[in-house]
Structure 1
Amino acid sequence: MTTTSGTGTEIAARAVDVWKVYGTGEAQVIALHGVNVDLERARFTAIMGPSGSGKSTLMHCLAGLDTVTRGTITIGDTTVTGLRDKGLTTLRRDKIGFIFQQFNLLPTLTAEENILLPLSIAGRKPDKTWYDTVIDTVGLRDRLHHRPTQLSGGQQQRVACARALVARPEVIFADEPTGNLDSHASADVLGFLRNSVRDHQQTIVMVTHDPVAASYADRVIFLADGHIVTELTDPTAETVLDTLKDLDVTGAGAGAADREV
């Protein structure tokens, strides 16, 4: 299945005939099977699917964290495929933000220093109004001078969210961004992500297993066995859950592993 924007909207990220293969011979695993997808700028896209469907692999390839076996990845006007280490470092610093479940905070830095680190590396100063909006929305005002070991898991995740958002990158890739937050904090962060798209034209691509989290997105793309099999626009938690149940029942994409790369 080929998924494109179809609206004439500017594309923030694109995958063209992307394959990802791990191992060789009998140990070979084909994680992505010729995936084609356009991700629109200033939109919130969620990627979902059963365990082993390829959703995290797709996000890692789109973000330049993993190389593709075949195909092309672009971020804006930059072709990610084939970039050397220096080019990838520049891309991640200037155009991409990351939110991961494991936080990836530097333990010797305060929360504020961790949040501002991408800007510091790029030699940029934060927009104070936007910085204050980010800090207040994720509820970190009284924790800015604490180090990660002095913060709860949920607070560390909120630092990671703020770090990704404060630089206003072209695309934010989020892997289970609320996985370690309670329901109230999750709603706050997801609402802020939603508003950053609507009010500030941020582009967010989120991998999640949670139908409630996915319901904050404009569009949900579903993978099964390394293929994009369907999508929803204007999703609700109920329609997302029903689609996931259908994927589990039908075994969508079964037999695709027999295809050759």
Structure 2
Amino acid sequence: MSDDGIGTVGAATAAVSAVDVWKVYGSGEAQVTALAGITTRFEKGRFTAIMGPSGSGKSTLMHCLAGLDTVSRGMIHIGETPLTGMNDTQLTKLRRSKIGFIFQQFNLLPTLTAEENMLLPLSIAGRKADPAWFETIVTTVGLKDRLHHRPTQLSGGQQQRVACARALLARPDVIFADEPTGNLDSRAGADVLAFLRNSVHDHGQTIIMVTHDPVAASYADHVVFLADGRMVDELSAPTADAVLDKLKHLDLPENQPDTEPVR
């Protein structure tokens, strides 16, 4: 995120960038503006959390940034690659090579072992895991003795760590995490968040996480805040208390229209 303020885009290539991004559903009286002209960048090798009240557009923004949803107007880039205008086949190839995903639901195949679940995306892409990198990731998530266990034989925290390892093994340019600790107890959630933070600081991974939890956001390097589809604030080196205080005082920019016709 640029230090010049919300919505600025610098010259250096970011891991992910958005320029004047709008997402509008429906038309006429039924029109709903989910994103209203967001311009921002997510720096490489940083852990960024996206926060905001329910309905603020944070999940919509993540889905658009990751190419899971299309924008109504504006441009999104993964590195120097523009997502806007790509067809489904192009988006699928880009997601396989450049993007990793971690969701609230672990999305593990029950018939596969932990190791097989970790390696599945690479297998689908016709790639082999780097043995040294595989060893590093498995050691980092603390699952060396669980590789041959199926999901039903793992705790919720262990299943989510398998999902984290799966996302990291392909060495994507960026990992998107949508409420990754939403189904975990506080201890398991802390383990997963510490792993994500360490993967950024120790291995240079880029992570963009949507969360509603100030404690989860405190593991990030930077937090951006959305309200009514706009970026309204940001915070570096966050603490849980500082994040909570920001959430309590979110205000929309003054004199800004609620919607704008999509051209």
| TM, length-normalised to structure 1 | 0.91
2:44 corresponds to which residue? Answer: 41
SS of the aligned residue for 2:145 comes to: helix
Alpha-carbon displacement from aligned partner over 1:152-188 (angstroms, at most 9, x marks no partner)? 4333222211111122110000001122222222222
SS of the aligned residue for 1:3 comes to: coil
SS of the aligned residue for 2:109 comes to: coil
2:7 corresponds to which residue? Answer: 3
Report the Cα distance in structure 2 between the residues aligned to 1:60 and 1:14, rounded to whole angstroms. Answer: 13
Instruction: Select the residue among 227, 235, 240 that pairs with 2:238.
Output: 235
Q: How many residues align?
A: 258
SS of the aligned residue for 1:257 comes to: coil
Quote the offset at 1:252 in angstroms.
6.3
Quote the offset at 1:5 in angstroms.
5.9
Report the Cα distance in structure 1 between the residues aligned to 2:9 and 2:188, rounded to whole angstroms. Answer: 31
Q: Does 1:114 align with 2:133?
A: no
The residue correspondences of 1:176-195 to structure 2 (distance < 5 A) are 176-195=179-198
Report the Cα distance in structure 1 between the residues aligned to 2:256 and 2:39, rounded to whole angstroms. Answer: 19
The residue correspondences of 1:1-261 to structure 2 (distance < 5 A) are 2-4=6-8, 10-247=13-250, 250=251, 256-261=257-262
SS of the aligned residue for 2:120 comes to: helix
Report the Cα distance in structure 2 between the residues aligned to 1:215 and 1:2, rounded to whole angstroms. Answer: 19
SS of the aligned residue for 1:142 comes to: coil
Q: Decide whether aligned partners of structure 1 residues 97 and 230 sit closer, same or farther in structure 2, where only a CA change above 3 A counts.
A: same
| TM, length-normalised to structure 2 | 0.90
Alpha-carbon displacement from aligned partner over 1:89-112 (angstroms, at most 9, x marks no partner)? 111100000000112222332221
Quote the offset at 1:27 in angstroms.
1.8
**Structure with a larger share of its residues in helix:** 1
Q: Decide whether aligned partners of structure 1 residues 91 and 24 sit closer, same or farther in structure 2, where only a CA change above 3 A counts.
A: same
Quote the offset at 1:254 in angstroms.
9.6
Alpha-carbon displacement from aligned partner over 1:116-159 (angstroms, at most 9, x marks no partner)? 11222223222333322322333323332233344343332222
SS of the aligned residue for 2:220 comes to: coil
RMSD across aligned positions (CA):
2.0
SS of the aligned residue for 1:141 comes to: coil
State the AA in 1 paired with 2:79: G
